[in-house]
Amino acid sequence: MAIITIVGSGMMGSALAFPARENGNEVRLVGTHLDREIIDGCRANDQHPKFDRKFPAGVKYYQIEELETALDGTDFVIGGVSSFGVDWFGEVVLPKIKDGTPVLTVTKGLMDTEDGKLLTYPALWKETLKKLGKNIPLNAVGGPCTSYELVAHDQTEVAFCGDDLEILQQLKKAMETDYYHVSITTDVVGIESAVALKNGYALGVALTVGVNQKVFGNDTLHFNSQAGVFGQATREMYKLLAFQNAMTIDNLAVGIGDLYVTVYGGRTRLVGILLGKGLNIDEAKAELNGVTLESLVVAERVARAIKRNIVKGTLKAEDFPLLLHIDDIVSNKAEVNIPWDSFTYRK
């Protein structure tokens, strides 16, 4: 049995408490400074307000002021913050974790640099750890997994990535159940890039749903257009993984699987549909007031990196018509006009 401390009581961090606790581990769920009401509710009801079932018996709940208590004696930490909490996690949580204690992060995203590179969040945190003079093994989880389906025990297949296979095997042993299946790999850049890239492209597929609802009505579903954009998204993700020197069939499979599940549920689908129906980005955000939209952040960052590399001559604009159009919609309030002709090819 391991002691597992989850920092961040959002939906995915909290969902991982289910396999962790059901596997016989001691689980401590810590809310961030934004999660106070969630932790109060968990203490009162043993249930996350967004889930339809109670936590497994024995999960312990902590407010952020009790972080050091929750970290005392822990075997590993799960980082459950969103992309917007990356800096906070590095500044507040990492300094309090004991040297040698592995971290497994669920945060999906990439950070672009001035010279057009795309960095994973573990790479950013490694720089933080260097400044702190700390040695904390950083690992991440990626793959097609929505929080509410994990809570429902739907069969889920993910990948844990990190620098040390022995540590990854320990994490797998602690977390894997008969419904939560874990591959392990040292290709951190590949897994983290694949699962981050899908965010912007899922938004693109959702645009077609909104366009069709606008034209044909909300009760009609059309799959040709969704599949067409999905196919183009696959092409562009393939090229971006190659740009990251991380193009393998396993990485692409993780990314495409995550793209599939994101298209069919969640916040990215909602904002994409609203944009497709004719709202501009500000109107769509207002409609979804209070909803965290990480997909927009990822799309903007990746598009910035693509444009910088187009100027440098290392990438071609004609290889990324979908993402560049998505960026135009998000950054410049352009009208949705999916560039279908740009998706065709002749060989």
Nearest to 202 by CA among 283, 264, 132, 140: 264
- 50, 53, 57, 59: CA torsion to nearest 10: -10
Nearest to 309 by CA among 212, 239, 217, 251: 239
Bridge partner residues of 84 (DSSP): none
Residue 112 CA to residue 309 CA, distance in Å, equals 11
Residue 18 CA to residue 78 CA, distance in Å, equals 13
Catalytic annotation present for 198: yes
Residue whose pair of structure tokens reads 């912007």 in the numeric block: 200
134, 198, 307, 316: the catalytic one is 198
Give yes or no for a contact between 59 and 27, defined as CB atoms under 8 angstroms apart. Answer: yes
Question: 64-73: which pairs have CB atoms within 8 A and are 24 or more residues apart?
Answer: 64/30, 64/31, 64/32, 64/33, 64/35, 64/36, 66/30, 67/7, 67/30, 67/92, 67/93, 67/96, 68/96, 70/5, 70/7, 70/28, 70/30, 71/5, 71/96, 71/97, 71/98, 73/3
Direct distance between the N- and C-terminal alpha carbons of the chain, in angstroms, rounded to an integer:
57
Residue 120 CA to residue 114 CA, distance in Å, equals 15
Left if phi > 0, otherwise alpha if psi is -120 to 50, otherwise beta: which for 120? beta
Q: Across the beta sheet with 138-142, what order do the strands follow?
A: 60-62, 26-30, 3-7, 76-79, 103-105, 138-142, 156-162, 180-185
Nearest to 111 by CA among 75, 138, 73, 84: 84
Q: Which two tokens stand for residue 194?
A: 């694949």
Type of residue found at 36: R
Q: Catalytic residue numbers? A: 198
